[in-house]
Structure 1
Amino acid sequence: MNLEFLKKLNFNRQFETEAERERVLKHAAADSLASGKRAVPTIIFFEIIMLGMWFLQGGFFSSMEHIAYFIAYTSLLLCSVAAYIILIAVGRDIEHRYRLLQDLSVVYDAFMVIWSVYITAIDAHYNGSFSGIVFITILVIVPVVSFVKPVFYVIFHVVGCGLVLAIISVYIKDDVWANIINFSVFAIISLISSLTYYGVRISSYKRQVMLEDAAERDVLSGLYNRQKLGRMSPVIWKRCVEKEMTLTCILCDIDDFKQINDNYGHFVGDEWIKTVAEIMKQSVHDDLCFRYGGEEFIMLLPGEDLKDGIHVVEMIQEKLKIFPQKPGNIDVTLSFGIYEGLPSAEGDNIEKFFSKADALMYQAKRNGKNQYCSERV
């Protein structure tokens, strides 16, 4: 195994941008959450059944062997209950806490591997034989149950294998090499399944993100479309309400766009839409830029005030003036409406901000175009 292969275990090179990586991992976290909600309760159920049977037999503390097994199954039960509670809590805000779910998966899987080593040690100590069935099962199933980078499984395998091989050499004197070979084969199968499953799921999530992105993006400008605005704006509004943040809404329109199409052709008009969109993306994070319709664009600036909005507008105007390759070799101007307010849970909604910014933009046009009008509540 060379260093280049180890680097590929993270699959980082499959992502073209950081934004794409985060969106893919959010899909993965949601899927992992669903898998965890099925797998962890199943483990809890069987642990309760196991402890219940021991309770009915009265064998909890009858010997050190029973105590050792009781500790093992009780620890797994308590850890699984804690993991399930955290899963439920994280699931309420998976959009912003998906990294916590990833960390939880790593910790829980590491615990499962160490726990299986402990069970294997108890079996070897008290029964003098190595079946390794629990350990092998854990190695094969864990990569499928949760979504964890294969690089972690390399670490899990090295630690787990080292411990189990040490146990075999201490307690078992016969057929040591046969057990080592059998165990190694299953360990390799587990690692391959982890690599394959992770890679397939990453590719699947990436295709899903690409399809979603295609449906949410305006083909001409490359900005989010009005449908995406309709889905994102309530989320932005809610976040501003919860964090008591201001929201600045900027509505932009290309001046005399109909005359541009009539005099220079629709190709030049389309190129100017692309150019304005590119300048906007250079000035504001493209997740906050939307093509509102025709030659109109909207920018949402959560947590920013009127001064910040004016700065963005002046930056766009300046970049527009010095843009090196102007479609049709003509100059184009923009009119802006800038509205700042404090979103509230009662009364107002984001449509009011759109309407106010739109009215301010038309006021800028009436005042002579190539300017902005602003208002703060």
Structure 2
Amino acid sequence: MADSTDHQVAIVGCGIIGRTHADTIAARPDATVTALVDGDAAAATALAARLKEAGQPEPKVYDDLTSALSGSNISLVAICTPSGTHAALAEQALNEKKHVVIEKPLDVDLTRARRLGAAATRAASHGIVSSVISQHRFDPGSALVSQAIRSGRFGQLTSAVATVAWWRSDEYYASAGWRGTWAQDGGGALMNQGVHTVDLLLWFMGRPVNIQAQAIRAAHHAIEVEDTVVATLTFESGAVATLHATTAAFPGGRTRVSVHGTQGGAEVENDRLRRFNVDGDKEDAPVDAGEPGGHKAQYDDILRAIADGEQPGITVHDAIDALATVRAVYIASTLQRPVKFLDVLEGRYDDVEVSRGIGLPPS
């Protein structure tokens, strides 16, 4: 059994990403999965067997989070359910004074996200930690770029380019009823596949001011949401960026974030640093920044924050900014005009029905 000083973890949602969290926790000396929550008993039982085969104590299985919280001595809850359920479950756990890790995105609804943000702030005042998975901030290459930006080694930032060019098949979208729906997926290529890249873009460039966009269904016509989107963003610094995400690119496409300044720049491709120029030097600086950190690196940060009584590197409020940016892209596409980020963040567009703005490419 887990040592009394270990974190006893409940994983809520036992699908693909739940297995990732379970494997990450199982490899740690300071945390043990003791509870699994899923309305699909077969999924929970399969994950319990996976953990047992890995030499872990067999966790208890529950139908819902309420039962798990009352039936186990849990200190940390990992939310790995469909995106549209994240905020409500996280708020429930915080209200029970449990630390919370939420898989990306934070949620798909900004009203729920704001409510969770308030709950997270209240919980933090009592030493309760909440964080949202944005593991690529912990990749060594991305961290090096962020440090260079904050120390001014790129000079004046002028622009950035962020792209996610992936393929997802029709079978992928059909594999779970929530995929490709507005209610539970909250969007398509940008909300699901691209939100990590949005988070990196904001980490590097700061908050956007204005956003304009076009989102379409280019290849996957059975889904409700977009499979391709292009946006332009203007930031508080005056810099601009293009943002592109698609799940309709022939397999083999890449994820890339390029940052450009007057004294240098960098390019992170597929989570690795590929180019790095600083201090006006035309020669590339060494780019072997190390292996991407993955979920392990973020769990290191979260459990350190709990132990030290500090806030984690990525907070719920950071994730709200990323969600608001994605929503701003959808709103701008729907309205076919630029929108202000703060107007979206503060709820002035909450009544816009973005689903009517996503369709076939304009004729």
- The normalised TM-score by structure 2 is 0.24
Instruction: Give the strand-richer structure, 1 or 2.
Output: 2
* Structure of higher CA gyration radius: 1
Higher helix share: 1
TM-score (norm 1): 0.24
Higher RCO structure (Cα 8 Å, ≥6 apart): 2
